[in-house]
Amino acid sequence: MISEKMETALNQQVNAELYSSYLYLSMSSYFSELNLSGCAHWMRLQAQEELSHALKIYDYLNERGGRAQLGAIEAPPQKWDSPVEVFESVVCHEQKVTGLINQLVDLAIGEKDHASNNFLQWFVAEQVEEEASANEVLQKIRLAAKEGGLFILDQELAKRVLTPAA
């Protein structure tokens, strides 16, 4: 059985993951408006990945005898000044999510909730990949913006394939 404190914290993380999905979907729409279909595709897959993270936590809550409680999801931004700014926002957002996951791990350790700590280790590893991926695209898009290669980068991003969570 999961503690009330851990249940509340995991429900907050479900909300944060759903917000992430909304944020990336909004970014996808922004790129669609700019006719950068590869960037839009990358963001749409990112939105789907974040939704899968929310569902993973949702399922875990139910498995442990808790209850997933869905709250209102904050509206994400709709406009950015440039594609570079969008990916800078992605890197910052993923760093924030890493902090949230780390807080959950700290709570699990403090509560001696070994099952939740074990469950959360998947997210710890996932955040390493998320930050690295976002930072890699940011570095490329900065270079492309300087060198005029945004179109080529957009085509590369269009090739991304969704790898569902295990």
Domain containing residue 57: CATH number? 1.20.1260.10
pLDDT tens track of the chain, all 166 residues?
A: 899 999 999 999 999 999 999 999 999 999 999 999 999 999 999 999 999 999 999 999 999 999 999 999 999 999 999 999 999 999 999 999 999 999 999 999 999 999 999 999 999 999 999 999 999 999 988 888 877 777 777 778 888 888 888 7
Q: Does a structural domain hold residue 162?
A: no
Tokens at 75, concatenated: 């509206």
Q: Does a structural domain hold residue 15?
A: yes
Q: Which of the 8 DSSP states describes residue 148?
A: T
Total domains, the chain: 1
pTM: 0.89
Give residue 100's identity as a one-letter amino acid code.
L
C-beta atoms surrounding 142 within 10 Å: 14
- Taking each continuous run of H as one helix and of E as one strand, the counts in the chain are 5, 0
Q: Does a structural domain hold residue 18?
A: yes
Q: Does a structural domain hold residue 37?
A: yes
| Cα distance between residue 146 and residue 84, in whole Å | 11
Q: Does a structural domain hold residue 166?
A: no
Give the Å distances, CA to CA, from 81 to 38, 78, 145.
Answer: 18, 11, 13
Q: Does a structural domain hold residue 139?
A: yes
